Amino acid sequence: MRSRKSAPAARTRRMRTRARPRRPKKRRSYFWLMRLALVGLIVISSMGLIGTAGTIGVVDYFAGDLPSIQAIRAANLTQTTRILDRNGTVIESLYHQNRTVVLLAQISPKLQQATIATEDRTFYSNSGVDYRRLAIAIGYDLTHHSSTLGGSTITEQVVKNVVLDSTEAQSRTVSRKFRELLLAEEMERRYSKQQILEIYLNTINYGNGAYGAEAAAETYFQVHAGDLTWAQASFLAGLPQAPADYDPFGTPDQLALAKWRWRSVLDGLVAVGDLSRTAADSLYNGDLVARMIAAHKALPGSHNPLTAHFVDYIERYIIQRYGAQGDARDESL
């Protein structure tokens, strides 16, 4: 009887004896999983640090080419030299690029608004690159086998016009575009939107030898950039896209293209709410273009025969004193 009663107890003891070794196995498995997770975390963290360091290294490598704001600010851009007589009247203007640098505060807010509405509507909200717009432009280029739809922001255009050398700026390689995007984002971190817009409006080509807003206002309308009306500002804002094609003083075809481009700029201003449709139509149907062409034709010839000898003397003097590029300095004589 005792042996029968003890049999279940013995089996129970044997079962308990067999069950006990499993718990250390679970602990070893638990600690093994912990170690594996820790190793994985270290590996992932290391990769993240390496990736971050690599990204910082790439950005620093390219950002090293970014000049200081003082180096690319309007004051250091090539400007027009004006020769004046003793009464302060301009006798002759000498330049490689016809440009008069002005502060952003001296440029009409209308031109600033028209430029942003035309060139980069997300200027004040993007990081220097508008990736949505860039993707649309790439898709359009691939499907239409052309590059007529631009995707560059104002900041990217500043990088292209000021930071990159002329050869690289004209190249169409992936590496050049990648470099442009990195530099644009880095420029946004270093400079304010106002500084970037000021540089843009002082460097962009408006056609007919006019670089920058001030020279453009004088060339097309004989006014200062700060005095531009909505009609004048909207007309100028459309020229930088293709200044050689949109030439109101050129052939009839070029004049037609310039007016078409002006119409599209006005439509853009209506779309963003800066102008009403009625106001835009009124500006377009006015006599701005006719008056602009008439005023251009009435301008005196580029060289006055009465002062030609004196101008030649001054130009030789400048070259002798400042070098071959001296006549591009911002000086009035």
| Residue 240 in domain | yes
| Residue 187 in domain | yes
Angle at 83 between CA 81 and CA 89, to 5 degrees: 125
Strand positions, DSSP E, the chain: 81-84, 90-94, 205-207, 210-211
Q: For residue 53, what pLDDT is reported?
A: 42
Q: How big is the chain, counted in residues?
A: 333
* Distance, CA of 194 to CA of 190 (rounded, Å): 12
Domain that holds residue 28: 2-63
Strand positions, DSSP E, 58-147: 81-84, 90-94
Q: For residue 96, what pLDDT is reported?
A: 64
270 and 211 belong to one structural domain? yes
* Greatest Cα-to-Cα distance within the chain, rounded to the nearest angstrom: 144
Q: If DSSP codes are grouped into helix, strand and coil, which group holds residue 208?
A: coil
| Residue 326 in domain | no
Of 20, 45, 63, the position where a domain reaches its end is 63
Q: Which residues contact 240 (CB under 8 A, 6 or more apart)?
A: 119, 204, 205, 206
| Residue 204 in domain | yes
Q: Say which CATH number the domain at 293 has.
A: 1.10.3810.10
In the chain, % helix, strand, coil (3-state, to 5) comes to 65, 5, 30
Burial of 311 (0-12, 13-18, 19+ CB in 10 A): middle
**Tokens 């007919």 map to which residue?**
208
40 and 183 belong to one structural domain? no
| Residue 69 in domain | no
59 and 104 belong to one structural domain? no
Q: Which residues contact 206 (CB under 8 A, 6 or more apart)?
A: 212, 213, 215, 216, 219, 220, 236, 239, 240, 243
130 and 49 belong to one structural domain? no
Can you give the pTM of this predicted structure?
A: 0.69
| Residue 80 in domain | no
| Residue 158 in domain | yes
122 and 218 belong to one structural domain? yes
Q: If DSSP codes are grouped into helix, strand and coil, which group holds residue 272?
A: coil
175 and 267 belong to one structural domain? yes
Looking at residue 225, the DSSP 8-state letter turns out to be G
* Distance, CA of 48 to CA of 177 (rounded, Å): 26
CA 40 to chain centre: 42
Q: Which residues contact 79 (CB under 8 A, 6 or more apart)?
A: 95, 99, 100, 101, 328, 329, 330
In total, how many domains does the chain have? Answer: 2
The amino acid at residue 251 is: T
52 and 138 belong to one structural domain? no
154 and 290 belong to one structural domain? yes
| Residue 12 in domain | yes
173 and 290 belong to one structural domain? yes
Q: How far is CA 291 from CA 138, 237, 245, 288, 323, in A?
A: 40, 18, 20, 5, 40
Tens of pLDDT along the chain (333 residues)?
Answer: 444 445 555 454 544 444 444 444 444 544 444 445 444 544 444 444 444 344 445 555 555 555 555 565 544 567 666 677 777 776 666 656 778 899 999 999 999 999 999 999 999 999 888 888 777 767 766 665 555 455 689 999 998 888 877 776 677 777 777 888 888 888 899 899 999 999 999 999 999 989 999 999 999 999 999 999 999 999 999 999 999 999 999 999 999 999 999 999 999 999 999 999 999 999 999 999 999 999 999 887 666 666 666 666 666 776 677 765 554 444 444
Burial of 110 (0-12, 13-18, 19+ CB in 10 A): buried
CA 61 to chain centre: 20
57 and 109 belong to one structural domain? no
160 and 42 belong to one structural domain? no
104 and 211 belong to one structural domain? yes
